[in-house]
Amino acid sequence: MTISTNKSRPIYPGLSPDLNARSNLIVCDKAGAAAVSELLARADATFAKRTTVFVADTLSDGDMTTLATDIAPAAIEFLPTLSAAIARLREILDAAPMGVRLYAAGTEPLIGSVVQAGADYSIDHLSIKTEHRGSLMRRVQCVHCKGFTENVTTNPVTCSHCGLTLMVRDHYSRRLAAFQGVCIDAEVPGDVPETEAIYQ
């Protein structure tokens, strides 16, 4: 569980099965797939049969076979990127009946993207079951140019759009699925602290 003193910082309590849901949609990456496997082990076969898992990752044939075995008997779809998985999730949500439960397991950009997609279909973020696994990398929005820099592992970081050096704050926006990045040397240009790899 990730904890912060910043009130906007998301908390990921972990996955738990909703045995009353009519169907379950789970988005995960390779690291999050372990959490999904553990979730299915805690549930019953009926839960698994009502579950579809979207794995958003580039995987070898061997990894896909292993995950398909670990996640059986749930249905599983492999998508090569997070954006492809979110597009597929949106297709399913577009035609989904009432009683769908949404889950996300993996990195914060993945979880944020699932919560963002859910919000577009009136699914409250508090009803989405989430578990952080894998890298601590972040998606960061530059407050100055509004551009997004993906997969950020350092602080500070250079904005991939305007080139400003940004301090990555703990302030998080669910609407944008991103952390806030603020120019670190606005008052004294060039006064930039050493870059630290802190979101590995």
Q: What is the pLDDT of residue 148?
A: 97
Token look-up 């019953």 returns 44
Residue 103, CA atoms < 13 Å, CB-side half-sphere: 27
Band of pLDDT at residue 126, cut at 50, 70 and 90 = very high
Considering the domain architecture, whether residues 61 and 43 belong to the same structural domain is answered as yes
110, part of any domain: yes
Considering the domain architecture, whether residues 112 and 193 belong to the same structural domain is answered as no
Average pLDDT score, the chain: 93
Considering the domain architecture, whether residues 110 and 188 belong to the same structural domain is answered as no
Structure tokens that stand for 186 in this block: 């606005």
Considering the domain architecture, whether residues 83 and 103 belong to the same structural domain is answered as yes
The total domain count for the chain is 2
> Is the pLDDT score of 7 beyond 90?
no
112, part of any domain: yes
14, part of any domain: no
Identify the residue with better confidence: 100 or 200.
100
What burial class does residue 47 get, using C-beta atoms within 10 Å of its C-beta: 0-12 exposed, 13-18 middle, 19+ buried? buried
173, part of any domain: yes
CATH, residue 63: 3.40.50.80
Q: What is the pLDDT of residue 3?
A: 44
5, part of any domain: no
Structure tokens that stand for 182 in this block: 């603020």
Token look-up 């400003």 returns 164
Chain-centre distance for alpha carbon 193: 29
Average pLDDT over residues 119-135: 96
What confidence tens digit (pLDDT) does each residue in 107-124 have? 999 999 999 999 999 999
Considering the domain architecture, whether residues 155 and 115 belong to the same structural domain is answered as no
Say if residues 124 and 117 touch (Cβ distance below 8 Å).
no
Average pLDDT over residues 91-98: 93
Considering the domain architecture, whether residues 27 and 126 belong to the same structural domain is answered as yes
179, part of any domain: yes
Considering the domain architecture, whether residues 30 and 107 belong to the same structural domain is answered as yes
Considering the domain architecture, whether residues 39 and 68 belong to the same structural domain is answered as yes
Cα 65 from Cα 151, distance rounded (Å): 27
Considering the domain architecture, whether residues 150 and 94 belong to the same structural domain is answered as no
* Domain residue limits at 176: 138-197
